[in-house]
Amino acid sequence: MHRISGTGLFSGADAHSAPGVFSASGLRQLDEVVRSARLSAGAAASTLLSLVRTGGDAARLTAQHCTFDHCGLLLFPSTLDAGLRRLEELGLSPLPVVPSTVVRRRLAERHGLDPADCKVHITRLRLALPTGRRHAAVEIFLLPRDGRAYSPQLERAEVAAGFEQHTAFVVARPSTALLTKLVASWRTEAGLIPEGGGHNPHEGGPAGSTVMYFVREHEHPGARRRFELHCPGDLTSFIARLPRESAAIRRAYAAWRPLDPAPLSTAD
């Protein structure tokens, strides 16, 4: 039996379930992301972005126009149903799943997979936050081990690097002018490089929602290495106009050190 520790969420009874649903490394990362989301809910924008001036444009625009929304993590359950049941057993109340479009594409590109085989599902976990707010503050991407895209090598690489882990802000009223200033300030003051994104018609109401991802360059160290801006509606035309710093993005990922070098174990 594997016991998750650190957040105070899980008792020994809660930790007991069918073995092998998630890897031990995945459960440790789940524990960490729940704790991170709770801390993030009450933190200042300058703290979350790390090493940016309190009075600078990055901190000011983020504080004025963005709200912390969630922390994200990719997990590999034995099956989709088993993974959702396991999250329920841990008291995390997963919301109904929706299909992923952006992470599905990113995984397919990163590992040379057919996107049609790369079935990624999204659920949100509702947390009671220190602010008193109850919010779906953890986003979990689920790539089941019984799917055609899965391989142990893929899981090892993703768990070790944490390529899909991120901290997300919602921009409730996005505009081209605001997003242009916000993205520019994140780039110059926090070293956050835009790395694309996309529109998901399955989330965020009738118009769907748009996500933009950012990776931190090595020259601007910080504990959080990836960020997301989450906006209502379809803003793919804005994403298409952003400069594509391909070489800088490659250097940023090449400089990452593994998050969890421990071998995978399915002793759940």
**pLDDT score of 267:** 40
The pLDDT of residue 131: 80
- Cα–Cα distances in Å, from 121 out to 6, 96, 139, 207, 259? 26, 10, 10, 19, 23
Which tokens belong to 245?
A: 């710093």
- pLDDT for 68-91, tens place per residue? 999 999 999 999 999 999 999 999
**Per-residue model confidence as pLDDT tens digits over 209-225:** 999 999 999 888 888 99
- pLDDT for 118-145, tens place per residue? 999 999 999 988 888 889 999 999 999 9
What pTM did the predictor assign? 0.85
The token duo for 144 is 């089941």
Q: Is 183 helix (H, G, I), strand (E, B) or coil?
A: helix
Alpha carbon distance 235, 156 (integer Å) = 33
Helix (H/G/I), strand (E/B), else coil: 126: strand
Q: What angle do CA 133, 138, 142 make, to 5 degrees?
A: 155
Averaged over 200-217, what is the pLDDT?
Answer: 90
CB 256 within 8 A of CB 15: no
- pLDDT range class, residue 169, cuts 50, 70, 90: very high
CA quadruple 129, 133, 134, 139: dihedral positive or negative?
negative
Q: What is the pLDDT of residues 249-262, one digit of tens each?
A: 999 988 887 654 43
Computed over its alpha carbons, how large is the radius of gyration of the chain? 18
How far the first Cα of the chain sits from its last, in Å, is 6
The half-sphere exposure of 2 on its side-chain side, counting CA atoms within 13 A, is 21
Q: Identify the pLDDT of residue 116.
A: 92
Tokens of 21: 């649903």
Other CB atoms within a 10 A radius of the CB of residue 179 amount to 21
Closest to 122 in 3D by CA, of 189, 202, 176: 202
